[in-house]
Structure 1
Amino acid sequence: MDVRQLRYFACVAEQMSFTRAARKLHIAQPALSIAIKKLESSIGLNLFDRNERQVHLTYEGKLLLPHAHRILQMMEDANTEMAELRGLQKGEVRVGVPGMLGSYFFPSILMGFKSQYPDLKLSVVEAGTQSIRQMLLDGELDVGVIHSKDVPAALDTSHLITSQMVAVTSTDHPLATRSSISFESFFDEELVMFKKGYFHREFIDQICATHKISPHLSFETNLLAMILNIVRHGFAITALLELVTEHEPGLVAIPFDEPVTLDISMAWRKHGYLSLADRAFIDFVQQNK
């Protein structure tokens, strides 16, 4: 097998269609089919179960796929490093940031980095920490901001910030005058929350499981601006990092009776290649957090 065959194999596995994969690879479908058949012949195994409508990975194909992904990522890392040594590219940093930190903590850091390194490109992806973890492991991101708890062994981390999680209400909400709030009182209210996959939601689900509470989820959205407006207009309350409420008018932050603090880290693949641009970004954030 060769790298080109593995790239074709991974693309067909992703698209579950020879037609869509050929279109994405910009090659003719017959050429793609021939390449896959040659790969299957070289290893003596069928990798796809083909029918008229869709293509499915066989058991053997499922076993080969993660190896193919690792090999392709290693090839990409090697090409990037060699290109840097030849001075053929200025560099790009692909960064994954959760919504709350992307809106309130990172803008000044990103602008400062761009000011210091104007020729480097920053590609910023907003996503939940679970998605960011997976994208780091898959090589789709170079650096990501994640919750410091349960970090996969394949990632290295550097502590970024520690922030308190607080209940958030409108200024005229009945709870707004409290100095602190119990979990029971919080979960008695109508709630607006991020969808699963965000550390904000992980926190909520963990508290509910620990205290055997069924929350009243009136709204679920991944849009931070919508959450803030729903709370500000009194339709529901939520829980956010305290740093959010420090920048938003019309909201009241109420600590929980049992204080909750979250540690947030910057992460990257432990054995993945970090480009010069990636290392410059990590160093800059560590110096300016």
Structure 2
Amino acid sequence: MELRTLRIFAEVVRQGGFTQAAKTVFLTQSAVSKAVRQLEDELGVTLLDRNGHKSVMTDAGEVVFQRALRILAEQDDLKTELAELQGLTKGMLRLGLPPIGSDALFAPMFAIYRRLYPGIDIHLVEHGSKKLEDMVRDGEVDLGASLLPAPDEFDWQNVRKEPIDVLIPASHPLADQPIIALKQLQDMPFILFDSAFALNPIILNACRSQGFTPSIAARSSQINFIIELVYAGLGIGFLPRLIAEQRVRDGVRHITLTEPDLSWDMAWVWRRGAYLPHAARAWLELAARFQHG
């Protein structure tokens, strides 16, 4: 049963005959009559009692007409809802955010996005990069913020690239240096993030490239706690400069890390070749404006 045939039949009933219905649906009278006959043949019942120029619905015709109205209304609602999604008057944006840097990078964007698209529901989750990549892969979020390089299965859009600074107690002999090489830190205990955080492999791989494996004094998912541990003299920490500059603490120095040149390269990732909802596309467009503006 085709929706087109149901619509023609409903129009015949509304208009009171084939001639006027033909004008409404922009078909010939014979085409309208043929469509109704096909519907009757398919259903195996007579829908219209044709008497000269008048057509009166049979009992079966009344049933089909009422059902047709509901079906056609559902179709119209579906088209309207899809149009609303494309026009971003409704829908959902599912984002995966990292615990590091989200406040600085994304909070202003949320305010603007909400103002532009007040009908979009925003669903947020917060995890380390590796977990967010898994959630993107499994379709649990539309976009996830992760560190580059991204796995080949993802498309990505750059967010921000920041150098990594060393956090060191102000009382340490190296604290007054403007820059510091990673190899100079090999005998100091490291305070790292939890294993799920993508910043850890960047630091540990860099240490291996410099010929040493650091001693790890502690791990934490809390930036402020790591800073306090550095202040207490437990070891040294590492933060992207953007985040480090927002968390100045008396007694803790931030020093530019060199040799090797390490960076925290954040990007939005999504499944390559997968459907990306309009709400997510709008978020990426806004993110691109932030990056270049």
TM-score band w.r.t. shorter chain = 0.5 to 0.7
Q: Give the drift of 1:136.
A: 0.7
Measured in 2, the distance between the counterparts of 1:119 and 1:108 equals: 18
Aligned to 1:130: 130
Aligned to 1:186: 185
Q: Give the drift of 1:82.
A: 7.9
Measured in 2, the distance between the counterparts of 1:160 and 1:129 equals: 14
1:255 and 2:287 matched: no
Q: Give the drift of 1:265.
A: 1.3
Over aligned residue pairs, what C-alpha RMSD do you find?
Answer: 2.3
Describe the SS at the equivalent of 2:194. Answer: coil
Distance 1:96 1:187, change over 3 A: farther
C-alpha contact 2:165 2:244 (8 A) present in aligned 1: no
Measured in 1, the distance between the counterparts of 2:122 and 2:285 equals: 15
Measured in 2, the distance between the counterparts of 1:155 and 1:96 equals: 14
Alignment deviations for residues 11-37 of structure 1 (CA, whole Å, 9 cap, x no partner): xxxxxxxxxxxxxxxxxxxxxxxxxxx
Q: Which has the larger radius of gyration?
A: 2
1:270 and 2:272 matched: yes
Alignment deviations for residues 241-271 of structure 1 (CA, whole Å, 9 cap, x no partner): 0111211121422112312223221111122
TM-score w.r.t. the length of structure 1 is: 0.66
Distance 1:153 1:184, change over 3 A: closer
Distance 1:82 1:246, change over 3 A: farther
Aligned to 2:212: 213
Gap runs ≥5 in structure 2: 1-77
Aligned length: 208
Q: Give the drift of 1:98.
A: 1.7
Describe the SS at the equivalent of 2:224. Answer: helix
Distance 1:275 1:257, change over 3 A: closer
Q: Give the drift of 1:177.
A: 0.6
Alignment deviations for residues 210-255 of structure 1 (CA, whole Å, 9 cap, x no partner): 2332212111112223212222333321111011121112142211
C-alpha contact 2:129 2:145 (8 A) present in aligned 1: yes
Gap runs ≥5 in structure 1: 1-80
Identity %: 24
TM-score w.r.t. the length of structure 2 is: 0.65
Alignment deviations for residues 76-128 of structure 1 (CA, whole Å, 9 cap, x no partner): xxxxx989516488211111122222132222222222232222222222211
1:139 and 2:139 matched: yes
